[in-house]
Amino acid sequence: MINALRAGAYGIPFMPVGGMWGSDLVANRPEFFQVMKSPFDGKEVVCVKALVPDYAIIHVQEADIYGNARILGPTYQDVLMSRAARKTIITTERIVGTYRMREDPKHTEVPYFTVEAVVELPGGAKPGICYPEYLTVDWDDHKSYVGSVKAGEVPSFAEKMLKGRV
């Protein structure tokens, strides 16, 4: 998966990937995995097709009005996603001045030129966690979501979560 996004970010159609040998996924998903011979020594290698998302959707703790974004805490694959996607949509706990990026330029995980939209959305990761802003799952809302899926009532869950937010 990560190599598929890497191939997307590098602008190449596929990428060799180690570690897929022995997995049925290679045979079951030929549209995503293919085996080819290395042009260098003829050894077989599994390749994964590039993924180029239309948008990466990333929630961050801090962004400026131009789309420079800082992720405090683990970045997961979000930096890679922003490079693989055609454009990125940022939702942010708060909008900060660009001086925050100038203070510590290496910490600008997502730079402005990859970004199309910035939405100030405090609590945007709820009912999940957003370190260090809110550190536990909102269990009442989590339970309410699981119940809404079973009952086919996701629209009313969305209505409740988004009240006054749009």
Partner 1 sequence: MREKVMSLSQAADLIKDGMLLAVGGNAMHRNPSLFCLEVTRRPVKGLRVCGAALGIAADYLFATLQADTAYFGFFGLENEAGLAPGMRKSMEKDGPGRAVEGS
Query: Could you say which residues in the range 14-73 bind partner 1, by CB under 8 A?
Result: 17, 19-20, 23, 25, 29, 31-33, 48, 51-60, 65-67, 71, 73
Residue 105 CB, shortest distance to partner 1, in Å, is 14
Cis link prior to 127 (omega < 30° from 0)?
yes
145 binds partner 1 (CB under 8 A): yes
Cβ contact 151:118 at 8 Å: no
Which residue, 107 or 161, has its beta carbon nearer to partner 1?
161
Residue 26 CB, shortest distance to partner 1, in Å, is 10
Q: Which distant-in-sequence residues (6+ apart) come within 8 Å of 110 by Cβ?
A: 58, 60, 63, 67, 68, 69, 71, 78, 79, 82, 88, 90
Identify the bridge partners of residue 94 per DSSP, sorted by sequence position. 62
The size of the interface with partner 1 (CB under 8 A), counted in residues, is: 71
State which of residues 12, 35, 36, 137 lies at the interface with partner 1 (CB under 8 A).
137
Q: Which residue type does 33 have?
A: F
Which residue, 107 or 129, has its beta carbon nearer to partner 1?
129
Phi, psi at residue 49, to the nearest 5°? -75, 145
Which residue, 23 or 38, has its beta carbon nearer to partner 1?
23
Phi, psi at residue 117, to the nearest 5°? -145, 145
116 binds partner 1 (CB under 8 A): yes
Q: How far apart are CA 18 and CA 119, in angstroms?
A: 38
Which residue, 2 or 35, has its beta carbon nearer to partner 1?
2
Which residue, 100 or 161, has its beta carbon nearer to partner 1?
161
